[in-house]
Amino acid sequence: VTVMIMSLKAGNLGLNMVAANHVVLLDLWWNPTTEDQAIDRAHRIGQTRPVTVLRLTIENTIEDRILALQ
C-alpha cells in the first residue's frame, strides 16, 4: 500500500494525482470549492479506476459549523 498525505490547501493546487483512487478528507474547509478541487485531482484525465472519497468529521465540534456553511 502506498500512501501520500497532504494538506487540503496543497492538494487543491494544479497537481495530477491520478495514481490515487482513494481520497480521505480530514480537514474541512468553509468553501466547498476548495475541497472539490482537491478531490478533482484524483478525477483527472488518465484515471482508469473508480475514485472513492471519504470525509471524516467529528460531531459537536467546529466542523459542524463548517458543514452548515457549505
Quick one: pLDDT at residue 45? 85
Rounded distance between C-alpha atoms, residue 51 and residue 21, angstroms = 4
Burial class (CB in 10 A: 0-12, 13-18, 19+), 1: exposed
Assigned domain for 1 exists: no
Domain count, the chain: 1
Domain range for 25 is: 8-69
Quick one: pLDDT at residue 1? 56
Q: pLDDT per residue over 13-39, tens digit each?
A: 777 788 888 888 888 888 888 888 888
Assigned domain for 2 exists: no
